[in-house]
Amino acid sequence: MKYSSQAVAKPYFIAALGLFVAQILFGLIMGLQYVIGDFLFPHIPFNVARMVHTNALIVWLLMGFMGSAYYLVPEEAETELHSPKLALALFWIFLVAAALTVIGYLAVPYATLAKITGNDLLPTMGREFLEQPTITKIGIVIVALGFLYNLSMTFLKGKKTAITTVLLLGLWGLAIFFLFSFYNPHNLVRDKFYWWWVVHLWVEGVWELILGAILAFVLIKVTGVDREVIEKWLYVIITLALVTGLVGTGHHYFWIGAPEFWQWWGSVFSALEPVPFFAMTLFAFNMVNRRRREHPNRAATLWALGTGVMAFLGAGVWGFMHTLAPVNYYTHGTQITAAHGHMAFYGAYVMVVITMISYAMPLMRGRAANSNKAQVVEMWSFWLMTVSMVFITLFLTAAGILQVWLQRMGDAPMGFMLAQDQISLFYWMREVAGVVFLIGLITYLVSFFVRGEDKAA
Amino acid sequence: MARAFQIKVSFNMQHINELPAVEPHLRGDLAIWIFILAELLAFGVFFVVYAFTRARHVELFNAAQLGLDRNAGALNTVLLITGSWCVAHAVAAARQDRQAIAVRWMAGGLCGGLAFLVVKIAEYQAKFAAGLSMDSDTFHMFYFSLTFFHFMHVVLGVGILIILLFKLRAGAYGSHDAHGLETGAAYWHMVDLAWIVLFPLVYVMH
Amino acid sequence: MRQATLTLNRIWLIMLFATLTTWGLGEGGAGGRLAMLTMLAMAFIKGVLVIDDFMELRHAPLLWRVLLIGWLGLVTALIVLSYWIGS
């Protein structure tokens, strides 16, 4: 660790992993509720479990991005962080706000939560992924602004690199697009139109810049390949991502009441969205192939390569499968969507955050890489989580295909609940895979505590 | 003996400048070529989708196409081809350190691009005045989408040419280094290439 | 270098002529297979000239020439196919 202020990343990473565990526990609760409908009812109804699951994911990924940024920006800029104190203060504010919000979800009915948090004054609650009370959302904006201020000052103070430029562009974009969560039009079509300006333009837009920058940083460190080569690839990848992803937002505008031309624009451009992910995979493997050094942190290298592959498969391939309007007409809002969503989020964002934690945590603990024993345990966790996620996706894909067939095609389409009954076997299988995923996550956490001879720099 | 040999060789050397580089060499930065491939992929998909959609609505497309301003389209083709020709000349001149000539050629290319935009805007205005838009029917959805998509690329191309022009005037490019110039020029030629397919496809063929 | 600039000028004239042909076919109201193939052929020729001589891929590694001329060929071939299906 070259600069002492990089250490502020540690609490962010620890909290991120804690929230990751919470996310998975609530995921497993829901997985069971799919097949045992009244499991934990009325204490934790499905919709509440879902809010906790999705919100925990977003918050832990945000914490992961923040930790990653606090770690890599000082090193790239070759100067200490502008204010480590601010970073730590914001950490606690963010963590407490997130905890209170989750407690709010679990403890009181949602309508009550809305009332007591003053949603009437500025209504922003009630939409998927954006269920947070308005005051929480305001808190997020304040935390984000403080975070961006801190990093931007550091960036301006020091050396400007392609990696930090792209990262900051992505992070500023993340904050700016989050502002659309405050825009809640009365007209339902417009409501849905702008909702995607947060969701799509995050995960298929500015978050890809963050992903690219973090991946590039780790690859430079573990492979030792010339910075110029890696930076050039990074610019190409983010250009491809923006060119395809911005107009690609149209693949969410097929059926919500927007003009028909979106079915064409959305299909054509989103069909090309896999291209940057393919480039990212090529990039990662290419860099590792032409590496100039054998970095002792083999686990981090494995995570980096895995990110490329799983992001391409989950976001690129599975996304492509249901992105064309004629296909999406049948698959919209089915388990196909869930299959894609899980593998995409895991492959792109979960894995890149873990890649960074995997690389940076040992350094923050005073060694270049963990011991052989610890790395082996960590690599086991990689395979357990990744393979189980593949199975979750495959089972949900199967469920989705059957669901589409039964519910939306043929001469005598079945109603929703009847169709759900028919696909319950796949839900059971998915749950088993989910349990294996949790085992993988626990294995990952265990790897932090495995002893052995750690590798020096 | 050696001297006689030397003289013979020096006569032959006169033609070396006219020979192409011996090593195959991609002009311009690799990054722009990746970008060009991506852009061509997007255009290509759009063109093919247009063509196959047309195959399912032949009458509609034939009829609606008659309302297009083919002369404007042809003029625009000439403007882009001429613009590319000028830019190619600018690059050749810069490589020979003929700075002033290069600047003039680049200005010519820029004029071609700007003129294209003017013609296109006039064309759109006429269409809007006639009450046509992307929502009118499938043909017009494609006509406006394709040409607007291309228009935005011409805008970006014009921006790039402006930068190249300023840098040429500042003497940034020459026989020592024409890399940036070639990079920008490659992008401009791509914009021309896309239109070369677009014009017959949308404006003429039926 | 005179050689190179003469080539550029010649290319420009060829492209203008090809454009004129396409425009002329349009003015004449030419429909049908022959007109369509002629226009696509003109487009293909113009495209190859831009790729080979303006973009200078003639003297670049073969891969790039294959990629771009391949793109042009594939797109025009698919357009021909669409006309064949549509008629």
- Which residues, listed in sequence order, are joined to residue B177 by a DSSP beta bridge? B174
Q: How confident is residue A384, by pLDDT bands cut at 50, 70 and 90?
A: very high
Task: Please state the rounded mean pLDDT for residues B108-135.
Answer: 96
pLDDT value for B9: 42
Task: Please state the rounded mean pLDDT for residues A211-232.
Answer: 93
pLDDT value for B3: 46
Identify which has the larger pLDDT, B71 or B2.
B71
Average confidence score pLDDT of chain A: 96
Identify which has the larger pLDDT, A457 or A68.
A68
pLDDT value for C32: 84
pLDDT value for C1: 53
- The answer to whether A259 contacts B134, with C-beta atoms less than 8 Å apart, is yes
pLDDT tens digits along C13-36: 999 999 999 999 988 887 888 999
- The answer to whether C50 contacts B56, with C-beta atoms less than 8 Å apart, is no
For residue A234, pLDDT over 60 is answered with yes
For residue A363, pLDDT over 60 is answered with yes
**Rounded-to-integer distance, Cα B89 and Cα A212, Å:** 38
pLDDT value for C74: 97
Q: How confident is residue C61, by pLDDT bands cut at 50, 70 and 90?
A: very high
- The answer to whether B42 contacts A269, with C-beta atoms less than 8 Å apart, is yes
For residue A168, pLDDT over 60 is answered with yes
- The answer to whether B134 contacts A271, with C-beta atoms less than 8 Å apart, is no
Average confidence score pLDDT of chain C: 90
Residue of C nearest to B200 (CA): C39
Task: Please state the rounded mean pLDDT for residues B64-81.
Answer: 95
Residue of B nearest to A238 (CA): B35
Phi-psi region of A41 (alpha: psi -120 to 50; beta: other; left: phi over 0): beta
**End-to-end Cα spacing for chain C:** 49
- Reading the block at residue A197, the tokens are 């300006």
For residue B117, pLDDT over 70 is answered with yes
Smallest CA–CA separation between B26 and chain A, in Å? Answer: 16
Q: How confident is residue A399, by pLDDT bands cut at 50, 70 and 90?
A: very high
Under 8 Å between Cβ of B85 and C12: yes
Q: How confident is residue C5, by pLDDT bands cut at 50, 70 and 90?
A: low
Chain B residues inside the 8 Å CB shell of C1: 17-18, 92, 95-96
Within an 8 Å CB–CB cutoff, is residue B30 touching chain A? yes
The percent of residues in chain A predicted with pLDDT above 70, rounded, is: 100
pLDDT value for B149: 96
Instruction: Name the residue facing A272 among B34, B42, B141 (closest C-beta).
Output: B42
pLDDT value for C2: 60
Within an 8 Å CB–CB cutoff, is residue B104 touching chain C? no
Task: Please state the rounded mean pLDDT for residues A36-45.
Answer: 95
The percent of residues in chain B predicted with pLDDT above 90, rounded, is: 79
Chain A residues inside the 8 Å CB shell of B49: 264, 267-268
Smallest CA–CA separation between B20 and chain A, in Å? Answer: 28
For residue B4, pLDDT over 70 is answered with no
Q: How confident is residue A425, by pLDDT bands cut at 50, 70 and 90?
A: very high
Within an 8 Å CB–CB cutoff, is residue B63 touching chain C? no
- Reading the block at residue A373, the tokens are 């024993």
Phi, psi of B170 (to 5 degrees): -80, 0
pLDDT tens digits along A207-217: 999 999 999 99
Under 8 Å between Cβ of A205 and A246: yes
Look at residues B58, B51, B104 and name the one whose alpha carbon lies nearest to residue C75: B51
- The answer to whether B204 contacts C62, with C-beta atoms less than 8 Å apart, is no
Phi, psi of A369 (to 5 degrees): -155, 160
Q: Which of A82-86, A203-207, A227-231 has the lowest mean pLDDT?
A: A227-231
Instruction: Name the residue facing B24 among C8, C50, C60 (closest C-beta).
Output: C60
Q: How confident is residue C3, by pLDDT bands cut at 50, 70 and 90?
A: low
Tell me which of A226, A237, A240 to substitute to probe the interface with B (most B C-beta atoms closer than 10 Å). Answer: A240
Within an 8 Å CB–CB cutoff, is residue A86 touching chain B? no
Residue of A nearest to B33 (CA): A236
pLDDT value for A457: 58
For residue B80, pLDDT over 80 is answered with yes
pLDDT value for A215: 96
Average confidence score pLDDT of chain B: 89
Look at residues B206, B204, B164 and name the one whose alpha carbon lies nearest to residue B77: B204
ipTM of this predicted complex? Answer: 0.93
For residue B12, pLDDT over 60 is answered with no
User: How many B-C residue pairs are in contact by the CB < 8 A criterion?
Assistant: 137
